[in-house]
Structure 1
Amino acid sequence: MVKAPVKTTEIHRQPGGYWRERRPDDIEAGLVYTGTVEMYRAAKGMSAGKSATKDTLGQFVAQVAARRAPDLVPTAILDMGCGTAEQTHAYKRLWPDADVHGLDCARPFVRYAHGAAESAGLAIHFHELDAAETDFPDASFDFITSIIMFHETSAAQVPRILKECWRLLKPGGLVLHLDVPYHAHRIPLAKQVTNDWQVRHNGEPFWTGFVDLDMQAELEKAGFDPQTAFADYEAVGPAAYFFFGGRKP
């Protein structure tokens, strides 16, 4: 199932958006996306080399998961909004015995992700699904994650996605989402202005809607226990990312 905003929005001003298909079995949108990600990584000094790989952020998420839930050894993992799935590869490499799934609602990305995983020799299951309305049974996964998915979907979808995470989580499992740390109380006015410009003119229409949410409150409304839910920050080098989620008793 494919729903707005991805199908109708040129996120990051990518021509045609993440959904563009111009031929049967089209993967062009995935190729364009991976190319622009590499340009971004290079500009930020994050290019793959001696000290980094394409799945570095996925490795970081796994490290944070190990700190948040040191007793958890995942057997079933779901990467929501996996895109072209470079980061999903990290979870299969780190937990080779786990059943790893990636979902995205952009069909060209799912096609590209499947081919890239096959090429890397990684057995990962990919699904074209809406993160707010999957077809998995209750309690299917003990680790559910995403990387920069929430700021690329409308704020109206956030409660539905979090409720779906709670439904899909096994007892003892962990939900751990990573996203941008650009909340107004953490950044100077100049950065707030440039962020607003990106929302208006640079293909980030849902950014401010996301950072304006009280994610701790949203988690609790979705069913997460106030004692185990969290919405805070984790540093990686000089940068920090916003993490939110929780465990199910």
Structure 2
Amino acid sequence: MTDSPIRVLLVDDHTMLRAGFRTILDTQPDIEVVGEAATGAEGVQLARSLRPDVITMDVQMPDMDGLEATRQIVADGELASAVAIVTTFDRDEYLFEALDAGASGFLLKNAGPEELIAAVRALASGDGMLAPEVTRRVLTRFRTPAAPLPSAPDAADRTAYSREDPVRSTRSRPLGGTNILSEPLTERESEVLALMADARSNAEIAGALFIGEATVKTHVSRILQKIGARDRVQAVVLAHRHGLA
């Protein structure tokens, strides 16, 4: 992160909810809400004109839903915005559709203010964020490589992963268009990936492998580059989908 504040775009068709999010985020000196949109289509338009660092995206909206809006934003090679889906309903269909569309975070609207702030900071630093209650469902789902994605209705939540440098060149790629393994993983990288896939933090990985956290961070960055993942969440999903973990 730089000294510049994290630029956030709020996309939700409920005016009061956007006002609440703005109030929460505006209390933080390192976060600036730069725009609001009431539909998915308006969100895509503002993303292209404002170029925010992070976008909070509702799912059910008029004109264009948040999943399609996320797909268009992530697929736009000129944008580096990270999208956090924020919805009311904890449903697997929305969770997996959002991950496949390229969302880097998933949060429920009943999450506390500190969770919203943490999610914005995590996504701005290049990390993914999933709720603890959905992490195991994600891992279980993608242990079957060819599992078809459900079509969509609603889901959301969070689990913060430790902060790694973002891989800017791959951050905008949706899951379906990612190239797997630009070069083979080393034995140590395979061990680190297996522990990442078990939702271990950097500190836990370091303890399990008897190495330093700085070394773990280096391995994680290399894994993201080799897998072609924009963040840790996508790396784990891809690893399970393609039998790497």
TM-score of the superposition, structure 1-length normalised? Answer: 0.31
Structure with greater proportional strand content: 1
